[in-house]
Structure 1
């Protein structure tokens, strides 16, 4: 028998065995590295965890849905998450809640340095005739053809819901109500109001003037976040202009010390409307009720929604923005890994008592190859509760990884080949 033919079968299994061992070693090493770098970090534990309660395993009772309103919504301020609502994306006249949009524009123009708190704002004859004491709507009482500081005129609009003050502010900032309405719509689009259109600064019924409960909650959230000083005017309980003192029409300011805004509204077409916000502990909620039947009913309905939301929901920050939450292997780069994180903090609104049941998961590509730019989207973080996605955010690269030199790329190419054998 040919000796070569006898020895060949022995060499082939040995060669295959060596290669298999090598492949197994590389694969095992790669797997361990992948687990170390791609493992989803644990969620932070609350600073003061409370003991489990019997009610934690019970379903949340249905919200106290307003029975006489046309549309309503309850939103968590920190996350923008809708906790409950009906018809909240249906168009409806916002009545004097419109003035919250006017406040946002005034505050934005002040922040841009275009107008100032001590500007002298004229109560023009047009503003007085269209929104003053001779009209059916609410008015501030600033005398016609006289001026008042912008900040005082704004309080007259916010606290007293003065239509005349709203028109005077619009004319001071943009020259006319029509020009000011264009600013309102531009800012509304910027803050994400997807189905709103404004044609005046006060909210009296007009063709093409509409919003939704969802958009109005977004507006309230934006005013609170972007301009807290202007927002604070909404909790003033009364305001005096000359000999006239008028109360804030938001009844909840007297009923509930945690309520600090936001705005009421009423016309015959719109019904009774209320945008309310309250803060208890470190949690803030926003409720909007549109088209209700009375001043008392809109306050009752908004109060019930706020109480329900605070009783049964809580807000947690899961991850900070700009902070590394994981690392991932990178091939062919000047460095061998990239830091992964989120662009902004990740928060979640969830049923109370169920935080420990949250399940985070990090979804990243199996193979990352340089170059990678700082801020580049790499994957996703998803957090679920009992199988339902509660929050998800993009994972981004917190550091850039430039492409490595020729020999680094060649070396990594070899090991990438072994990794796939």
Structure 2
């Protein structure tokens, strides 16, 4: 196999960014919080903006229900279950302690109402019923959760139940929680919309969403609270400002009040100093690359998907792009064939990259045409080596 040959190609990108002076960006340290573990990321780029002990294994309490919500959303998307399903409530779920939505044994409740009871009211009984409906039992559902955890790359997570009930072997990390939250938001927006609902009434009992930030800022639309004596006060929240969506995970805060102030200060820090912007779009031709042995001499290159960066606002003006091709492009080429990548640097630091693909296929010239083209390519390579 031939070694890749790198081509650093200068070109002009059209950025949809503010025309700001290229001043040096000064970003202060994150605010001081009572939370013993926290993480602040952009929901789309997963850029880490602030962190403390983010990989430490800790008790997640009811934050666990974010994973329960992710699993049930994916099972619905796969067609295995439906929001309209009527779920028979077992004695086991009816007896479940802790926070509850007050479902009754032997009754049938729609899966949609159970999800609302879990998300809005943090109902352990609702989580239990969801688990039994999806997998037949909570133990089977936990096995499913762990298969998802492995698939999603959750390195510091182990689930014992679907509710977050305390157990020494039940743990996660701020990093893993943020990852699942990001995937839930991006992959299941129709289900994520439930996380911003402030009230839910079931069985004539009206309960408010335990995420008090929903009342403080209309830009915040989720996600979940958690609390036990051993886990402390936990909160995962998300919101959008200036087309930038952030996720803040604060774990083991000292009180219910500081849980809110910790999380809010982390979000305010991120929104004040950072922005996420689309840099280039899929199917946007950013370069014409030479093709050898083809019926066309050049082919347009495009990123494989829309590409975003999260940076301090002034830094967008200073990023420098370069294209690296895997090798000389030789026909035949398929449409959407990955042939290299584009790298973005900020000074000496690489801040992002994305693969490049061909915008169209290119047929070969045939035997004699290809032979002549190969001779020219050999000469071209020889001259470059001489240089």
Q: Say which SS state the counterpart of residue 314 (structure 2) adopts.
A: coil
In structure 2, the residue matched to 1:212 is 173
For 1:220 and 1:356, locate their aligned partners in 2 and report how far apart those are by CA, in whole Å. 30
How far has the Cα of 1:116 moved from its partner?
Answer: 1.6
- 1:84 and 2:50 aligned: yes
In structure 1, the residue matched to 2:270 is 309
Q: Say which SS state the counterpart of residue 330 (structure 1) adopts.
A: strand
- 1:63 and 2:24 aligned: no
- 1:146 and 2:146 aligned: no
How far has the Cα of 1:128 moved from its partner?
Answer: 1.6
Q: Say which SS state the counterpart of residue 354 (structure 1) adopts.
A: helix
How far has the Cα of 1:169 moved from its partner?
Answer: 0.9
Q: Say which SS state the counterpart of residue 257 (structure 1) adopts.
A: coil
For 1:369 and 1:107, locate their aligned partners in 2 and report how far apart those are by CA, in whole Å. 44
Q: 1:195 to 1:403 in 2, by over 3 A?
A: farther
Aligned residues: 376
- 1:93 and 2:63 aligned: no
- 1:41 and 2:2 aligned: no
How far has the Cα of 1:392 moved from its partner?
Answer: 1.1
* Cα-Cα RMSD: 2.1
In structure 2, the residue matched to 1:189 is 150
Q: Say which SS state the counterpart of residue 151 (structure 1) adopts.
A: helix
In the alignment, structure 2 segments of 5+ residues that lack a partner are 1-6
Q: Is the Cα contact below 8 Å between 2:291 and 2:298 reproduced in 1?
A: yes
In the alignment, structure 1 segments of 5+ residues that lack a partner are 1-36
How far has the Cα of 1:378 moved from its partner?
Answer: 2.2
Displacement over 6 Å in runs of 4+: none
- 1:162 and 2:123 aligned: yes
Q: Say which SS state the counterpart of residue 353 (structure 1) adopts.
A: helix
Which whole-Å deviations, capped at 9, do the CAs of 1:289-329 have from their partners, x for residues lacking one?
A: 11111111111111001001000001111111233221211
For 1:205 and 1:321, locate their aligned partners in 2 and report how far apart those are by CA, in whole Å. 45
- 1:322 and 2:283 aligned: yes
Q: Is the Cα contact below 8 Å between 2:16 and 2:279 reproduced in 1?
A: no
For 1:172 and 1:397, locate their aligned partners in 2 and report how far apart those are by CA, in whole Å. 46
Q: Say which SS state the counterpart of residue 57 (structure 1) adopts.
A: coil
How far has the Cα of 1:181 moved from its partner?
Answer: 1.2
- TM-score, normalized by length of structure 2? 0.91
Q: 1:336 to 1:345 in 2, by over 3 A?
A: same
Q: Is the Cα contact below 8 Å between 2:19 and 2:317 reproduced in 1?
A: no
How far has the Cα of 1:105 moved from its partner?
Answer: 1.5
The structure, 1 or 2, with the larger RCO (C-alpha pairs under 8 Å, 6+ apart) is 2
- 1:361 and 2:327 aligned: no
Which whole-Å deviations, capped at 9, do the CAs of 1:129-171 have from their partners, x for residues lacking one?
A: 2x2xxx3x21111122212111111111111100011001111
- 1:276 and 2:237 aligned: yes
For 1:332 and 1:58, locate their aligned partners in 2 and report how far apart those are by CA, in whole Å. 47
Q: Say which SS state the counterpart of residue 292 (structure 2) adopts.
A: coil
For 1:63 and 1:125, locate their aligned partners in 2 and report how far apart those are by CA, in whole Å. 47
For 2:329 and 2:120, locate their aligned partners in 1 and report how far apart those are by CA, in whole Å. 57
Identify the range of structure 1 (237-246 vs 372-381) with the bigger mean alpha-carbon deviation: 372-381
- TM-score, normalized by length of structure 1? 0.84
By percentage of residues, which structure has more helix?
A: 1
